[in-house]
Amino acid sequence: MTGDKKDMNNNEDTNKTKSSDPENGAGKKPRRKTRKSTVIFYIIPVVLIVIIVVFGIKFLQDYRTYQAAKNEYSALNQYISETDEGTGDADKQEATADGMQNGSGSETGAGGEDNAFQHLTIDFDELEKINSGFVAVIYVPSLDLRYPVAQAEDNSKYLKTTFDGSYNPSGCIFLDTTASKDFTDMNTFIFGHNMRNETMFGSLKRFYQKDGLVDSDPYVYLYTKDKVFKYRIFSYYLANEGSACYDDFEGDDGYDDYVKAAQKNSMYDTDDVDFTDRPRLLTLSTCSGTTHTVRFLVHSALVEEYDQKAENDSDQESDG
């Protein structure tokens, strides 16, 4: 029995030695934890590298997309050029607006001259060859924003199609499909993307980012082959997609309610527009933020309408 006890004690000692031996099973658990930590240590940098590469590729794609659109519209500037001369009282064509004749209700425009508008040299024929849907050129001097405007049978066309018909997410500045091409509607909508590089309508947000910018030159101009329309900005604000500001209005009461709502929501206040005769409105609209559910609108009212047909005819005679 004594020997058996010794053997049992020896076995117990051996078991204790095995259990405390780091080379045996009990000592392998810390090693498994070490291997897991090592794997995680290597996985995290790999994941970060993948994320960086993906975002890098996306950034490069966006840059190329923006640059392609920027190059296209820069090339179109050869057909739309600004001249140093404005058109003032001395050389202006007959100016008309709703309820205004020969300058009544006029304001000081570009160059500080009454009834003045910035003269642009525009090759309308060439722009029509590039895009048969071409309707006008829009110009906002305070933002140095100048683009051809097109119109399609469906507003979705120019969301990802440029003026020359190329596919590009920058799209094109476009007139609402339901709007009259002669801009005789009581409220005309023109749309454009809010691009990060401030192309298209991406620069409109500068109005609320920089105090006083709009007052430096508070006008929007539309140039057609026969007319130049001069609008005075009176309101801009953020609104949700599908807001009532996109609804049509009817009659004088509907017009008055619409203008009052635009003034109430506005981040900008001015008394320089006389709404007594209910001048036609021009509304510029673009998206805002990253949710694509918020819109930024700029409202303006027609203050002058110039007939430039005679000027176009004289230019053609000079070319001949």
State which amino acid sits at residue 205. Answer: K
Whether residue 244 lies inside any domain: the answer is: yes
Instruction: Return the structure tokens found at 221.
Output: 């101009």
pLDDT of residue 225: 95
Whether residue 248 lies inside any domain: the answer is: yes
Show Cβ contacts of residue 59 under 8 Å, excluding neighbours closer than 6 positions.
none
- 236 within 8 A of 266, measured Cβ to Cβ: yes
Q: For 81-135, give the DSSP string.
A: EEEEEEE-TTT---BEETTEETTTT--B-GGG-BT-EEEEEE-HHHHHHH-TTEE
- 235 within 8 A of 268, measured Cβ to Cβ: yes
Instruction: Return the structure tokens found at 187.
Output: 């409220």
For residue 235, list its beta bridge partners.
Answer: 299
* Number of domains the chain is built from: 1
Which tens digit of pLDDT belongs to each residue from 80-132?
988 765 554 434 444 443 333 333 333 333 333 345 778 899 999 999 999 99
Whether residue 52 lies inside any domain: the answer is: no
Reading the chain (320 residues) residue by residue, the pLDDT tens digits are 445 544 544 554 545 444 445 455 555 555 555 666 777 777 877 777 877 877 776 656 666 777 777 889 999 999 998 876 555 443 444 444 333 333 333 333 333 334 577 889 999 999 999 999 999 999 999 999 999 999 999 999 999 999 999 999 999 999 999 999 999 999 999 999 999 889 999 999 999 999 999 999 999 999 999 999 999 999 999 999 989 999 999 999 999 999 999 999 999 999 999 999 999 999 999 999 877 899 999 999 999 999 876 455 545 444 44
Whether residue 41 lies inside any domain: the answer is: no
**Torsion-angle region of residue 175: left (phi > 0), alpha (psi -120 to 50) or beta?**
beta
Whether residue 233 lies inside any domain: the answer is: yes
- 284 within 8 A of 73, measured Cβ to Cβ: no
Instruction: Return the structure tokens found at 308.
Output: 């430039």
pLDDT of residue 159: 96
The residue to which tokens 């005789």 are assigned: 184
| Domain span at 305 | 59-319
Of all residues in the chain, what percent are helix, strand and coil, respectively (each to 5)?
Answer: 40, 25, 35
Whole-prediction pTM? 0.74
For residue 237, list its beta bridge partners.
Answer: 297
- CA-wise closest residue to 116 among 304, 316, 252, 270: 304
pLDDT of residue 224: 97
pLDDT of residue 117: 77
pLDDT of residue 170: 92
H/E stretch holding 13 reads: helix 2-20
H/E stretch holding 240 reads: strand 227-240
pLDDT of residue 36: 67
Whether residue 82 lies inside any domain: the answer is: yes
Distance CA 266, CA 259 (A): 10
Distance CA 306, CA 225 (A): 11
- CA-wise closest residue to 146 among 138, 155, 157: 138
The three-state (H, E, C) secondary structure of 28-62, written as one string: CHHHHHHHHHHHHHHHHHHHHHHHHHHHHHHHHHH
Whether residue 199 lies inside any domain: the answer is: yes
Distance CA 136, CA 158 (A): 15
CATH code for position 265: 2.40.260.10
DSSP state of 295: E
